[in-house]
Structure 1
Amino acid sequence: MKKYLAIVVLMMFSFTSFAQKKVSSYPQTYWSSGGEWIFSAGTVADANNVLRWAPVINLQNFLNFDTSDNFGWFTGFNVRNVGFIFDESPTVRKKVRSYNVGIPVGVKFGNLDGKFFFAGYELERSVNYRERTFVDERRVDRFNVWFSDRVNPWQSSLFFGINYRSGTTLKFKYYPSEFFNRNFTATDSNTGATIRPYENIQANVFYVSLSFDVFSKGKFAFLD
């Protein structure tokens, strides 16, 4: 039994050493991942826009390709909670959001083992839309729809940010594509008439976010 226990301990030690191993030669390829705290708003004209905090569910998974100590690029697969809050009138508030899946392409430059900058483009696909309506601070309506036509299904975004030596990442992101599909039609529940509820709402989302160790080299680092 002691012999088997010693073998298990040795295997665990070897795995831990591999997980913490720092690759010093280039190029380097590795996966990294982390969450994202999103503080977002929408550029809705003639409306009171309210800051929205979305700590969940935001998952970032990056495949990194570092070519030197000072330059690299990355792609990946992300799941993100994107939305905003605005007042249609002094008494009516709307809270809207879309869960998106996205594929980013970006570059990193600076000290990749410390403080560096990054920038890129991301194409996102809306998969679930939710809308809530409040009148005098009381919720009167709520619904969510998978693959809804209420929002533009494909949304482009541009981002840039800074990764600090501590591993904290600060990012700014802007969506040039409009959030709503302004050609969407629905039937008014009271009159039966066909309406376009988002026809006059031109909304582009932007946000600032915080992440932690999202570019950190972990156990999935490999030499090329």
Structure 2
Amino acid sequence: MKCKLCPLFLLLLILCCNVFAQEKKDSVTKTATTTSANADTSVVSSEKTVFSIIFGKYPKHREGVYITHGGDGPLLSFASMKNNGEHLRNIPRFTMFLNVGSNFNKDFSRNFGVFTGINLKNIGLISKPADSLKLKQRVYTLGVPLGIKVGDLSSGSLFFFAGGEIDMAINYKEKQFVDGDKVHKFNEWFSDRTPLLMPSLFAGFRFNPGFGLKVQYYPQNFFNKDFKTKDKDGNSVYPYKNLEANLMFVTFSYNFSGIDYFKVKRKRHYMKMKSGKAEFEVNY
């Protein structure tokens, strides 16, 4: 009986092996077909327009240090002058050139910030020691301000500023007029006729798109009382020994770049939807 069942058992074993081999072959063929289809789908997907949704939050204020360029434009100077304690007649001085500079700004919030920088200014005064004599005296200075800003700093619509500045006198120039005719002029680099360092205080306001008014006052004497020179006979003279002059000016300040402020959104969050080059934004 057992011998009769052996051929039947062997036939069943062969049939099972054939079925298993066929299923494995079909499985491999199916896998290859699926991989090929996925590759084709990937190619098609890469050619389609990608749609994305991005959620984000706006900063509370402009971050980091940023630079503004400009300076003091038209500048009108006034002086309080005394010679031997007596008032000395002087004339307001107006100039437009050359007053330029750059400031480095740091905002700590939407409404408060600080700044420093470097500015080139043309400051001076006009005096009349006598009816027939007029003197124009000016210096070019390089100044380093340090100040604060309070107001709408995010859009620059209106803010106030104040601080102090140290100016270094780099070029002194003097013109003498007699009866309206110019009779003498000279200029000196790093002259001893004025102090080398000239401290000052300033305050003002600025409004969009970057213009403003500023008042600046120099409490130190404009002239160096210890300056010594020689007269025609070779004698030592101190031309500014008894002269006191305190300078103040008003200027129409400006910024010609950096005034396009980063617009800090009133609504803090945003949702951007992009599809190709098209973009749509919702603030909330």
TM-score (norm 1): 0.83
Looking at structure 1, the residues matched to 205 and 103 of structure 2 have their Cα atoms a distance apart, in angstroms, of: 16
Q: CA deviation at 1:156?
A: 0.1
Partner of 2:129: 88
Q: Counting helix residues as a fraction of each chain, which structure ranks higher? A: 2
Looking at structure 2, the residues matched to 62 and 125 of structure 1 have their Cα atoms a distance apart, in angstroms, of: 17
Q: CA deviation at 1:53?
A: 1.1
Looking at structure 2, the residues matched to 23 and 136 of structure 1 have their Cα atoms a distance apart, in angstroms, of: 63
Partner of 2:77: 40
The one-letter amino acid paired with 2:65 is T
Q: CA deviation at 1:178?
A: 1.1
Q: Which has the larger radius of gyration?
A: 2
Partner of 2:175: 132
* 1:84-123 matches, cutoff 5 A: 84-112=125-153, 113-123=156-166
- The question of 1:210 aligning with 2:257 is answered no
Partner of 1:167: 210
Q: CA deviation at 1:24?
A: 6.1
The one-letter amino acid paired with 1:42 is A
Kindly indicate whether the alpha-carbon contact (under 8 Å) linking 1:27 and 1:68 is maintained by their aligned counterparts in 2: no
Report which structure shows greater RCO (CA 8 Å, sep ≥6). 1
Q: CA deviation at 1:211?
A: 1.7
Looking at structure 2, the residues matched to 181 and 164 of structure 1 have their Cα atoms a distance apart, in angstroms, of: 38
Partner of 2:30: none
Looking at structure 1, the residues matched to 247 and 227 of structure 2 have their Cα atoms a distance apart, in angstroms, of: 19
The one-letter amino acid paired with 2:236 is T
Partner of 2:234: 192
Q: 1:62 aligns with which of 74, 82, 103?
A: 103
Which structure 2 segments of 5+ residues have no match? 1-57, 263-284
Looking at structure 2, the residues matched to 23 and 59 of structure 1 have their Cα atoms a distance apart, in angstroms, of: 31
The one-letter amino acid paired with 2:118 is F
- The question of 1:144 aligning with 2:187 is answered yes
Q: CA deviation at 1:217?
A: 3.8
The one-letter amino acid paired with 1:196 is Y
Looking at structure 2, the residues matched to 165 and 185 of structure 1 have their Cα atoms a distance apart, in angstroms, of: 48
Q: CA deviation at 1:136?
A: 0.6
Which structure 1 segments of 5+ residues have no match? 1-21
Partner of 1:183: 226
Give the superposed CA RMSD.
2.0
SS in 2 for 1:69: coil
Looking at structure 2, the residues matched to 67 and 217 of structure 1 have their Cα atoms a distance apart, in angstroms, of: 18
Kindly indicate whether the alpha-carbon contact (under 8 Å) linking 2:210 and 2:259 is maintained by their aligned counterparts in 1: no
Kindly indicate whether the alpha-carbon contact (under 8 Å) linking 1:126 and 1:155 is maintained by their aligned counterparts in 2: yes
- Identity score, percent: 37
Where in structure 1 do 4 or more consecutive aligned residues deviate above 6 Å?
Answer: none
Looking at structure 2, the residues matched to 129 and 51 of structure 1 have their Cα atoms a distance apart, in angstroms, of: 18
Alignment CA distance shift 1:192-1:65 (3 Å): same
Partner of 1:15: none
Partner of 1:11: none
Give CA-to-partner distance per residue, 1:68-88, whole Å, 9 cap, x none: 111100000111111010111
TM-score (norm 2): 0.66
Partner of 1:201: 243
Looking at structure 1, the residues matched to 146 and 105 of structure 2 have their Cα atoms a distance apart, in angstroms, of: 10
Kindly indicate whether the alpha-carbon contact (under 8 Å) linking 1:31 and 1:218 is maintained by their aligned counterparts in 2: no
